[in-house]
Structures are given as structure tokens and as C-alpha cells.
Amino acid sequence: MHTVEQLEATLAVAKSAGYQIRQEWLGGAGGGGCQFGGQKWLFLDLALGPAEQLDQVVDALRDDPSVVGLAMPEAVRTLLGVRKTA
């Protein structure tokens, strides 16, 4: 799976986990996951390339226990370090 495909698949997992996705030009200075107003948000910095954006998404999801039981491609599961559930 190529980086852009991994990014798209990982964003789909984030949406399934309840994240609101915002893609904004942040000049390379920020981005990542946060929670406010009772919702989970993921800000992607459009100044970054696909690999760096993927890193932002993976960093946010890796710490979120709600992704464990979600359906996802094996490549995304590996990126997130999530084991399959029985």
C-alpha cells in the first residue's frame, strides 16, 4: 500500500473512531489530534507531504483505545500497532 493510500485508509479509520477531520494550511507548524467541545478532532497540515500527514494521523490514533475494535486494512493495523481482536 502506497503512502497516499495508507493516509486515506487511516483517515477512514479516524472517521470511524469519531474524529472530525480538518485539513488546514498550518505552514508546517502544527497539526495532530485533540479533543474539545466533547468531540475528537484531527487537524492535518496541508503544508506537509503525505508521509508527514500520515504520521500526524498515526500519532493521534495510536493513543486512542477506541480504534482497537474497528475494521481496518492490515497495513493500517500494523502502522497503529493494533492487534486483531478475536
pLDDT at residue 86, rounded to an integer: 54
pLDDT at residue 76, rounded to an integer: 93
Sign of CA dihedral 61, 59, 55, 75: negative
pLDDT at residue 46, rounded to an integer: 93
For the entire predicted model, the pTM comes to 0.89
Helices (H), the chain: 3-16, 50-62, 74-80
pLDDT at residue 67, rounded to an integer: 93
pLDDT tens-digit profile, the chain (86 residues):
799 999 999 999 999 999 999 999 999 888 889 999 999 999 999 999 999 999 999 999 998 999 988 999 999 999 999 877 65
Question: In which order are the strands placed within the sheet that holds 32-36?
Answer: 19-24, 39-45, 32-36
What is residue 69's DSSP assignment? T
pLDDT at residue 28, rounded to an integer: 87
Tell me the angle at which helices 50-62 and 3-16 cross, rounded to the nearest 10 degrees: 30
For the chain, which residues make up each domain, given as ranges? 3-80
Rounded-to-integer distance, Cα 31 and Cα 75, Å = 23
